[in-house]
Amino acid sequence: MLIVSSWSEQFRADIGLKGVSQVWGGPPAWYIWLADAPGVYHLALMEALEEGQKGEVLCKAVFAVKCYPDPGAACFQSFSFLERTLIQSNFFDETHTPVFECREQIPPDLFNVAMLEVTMDHGAQRAAFCLETLDTLRSRYVAKTDQTFPVMGLGRQFDVGEVDRDIPGLKIAYPLFDCLMCLYTNAGKRAPFQVQCSRTPGFEVAIAHGKMSANPNEAINGYRLAVFYAGADRNDQRNKAPTKIDSGEYRNASFYERIFPCGHFHDDEADGNLPISLNREWWSLAHKQYGSELASSCGCH
């Protein structure tokens, strides 16, 4: 997907992709810069496995989605005290990403906004992309706590009920998911066949004296947005197998499901129930052709 996107500056401008850089020295990961995004995204592989389904083996990859917020972004103050402090320290460089020498010192549970799951058959003909997060990612101190942050050599006292983190998880994560769908549609020249969205009761993280737990919160919802791509023959039922992937607690919580057998997007009243707006480009890019601006397919100008 990224190689194909490098061929056309116009395509990258159309989808708001400003830059991509592979993160070296560990599991596969990338930094991604998008136009009008609240910060720099960090997409990191967490797990890769094979799963059997109706006699066929499917490949699944699970990625963590992080966002390093821009201090000028509207959501910046909603990130935690430690996250904001790190962003404005020498742990981050002018690219707004972690300094190479400091990466391993940053606690892995910071800056997380969502999980991305990708499932494909061995021929990469059928695919499912699933974004999972809460509409609000909130952490609250439920006891007066003298919290220390060894990574920065800092300490701070938090009062009972004080909210340390209160970010719009789905709103922040969705622009990256949107871009990835545009990249995949353009590279494969296939539009989504099906879109599903599920909702479950949410929770907030309760912190007390260094210990964390999940407390149910009726004002918060968990969402799982799934986009499915059929095989070359969209009428062959076998090409729709990934639509049956296991979605865990979201399995029976679907409130939106649409099929697009013609390969084009058409408005529907049900779209208004979604917490986000589906991008028509996921469908139209399958029918657009961008001319290569490179002298050769290897990437040389």
Distances (CA, A) of 96 to 31, 69, 221: 10, 8, 30
The Cα–Cα gap between 11 and 7 comes to: 8
The Cα–Cα gap between 175 and 43 comes to: 13
**Global pTM?**
0.90
pLDDT of 300: 52
Q: State which amino acid sits at residue 182.
A: C
Q: Count of alpha carbons within 13 Å of 166, Cβ hemisphere only?
A: 11
β-strand partners of 161: none
Give the torsion sign (CA, 90, 96, 102, 106): positive
Mean pLDDT by 10 residues, the chain (301 residues): 67 93 91 96 95 78 97 96 95 94 93 96 86 98 92 91 97 97 92 95 93 95 95 56 54 88 92 95 92 58 49
β-strand partners of 134: 222
pLDDT of 185: 93
The Cα–Cα gap between 174 and 34 comes to: 12
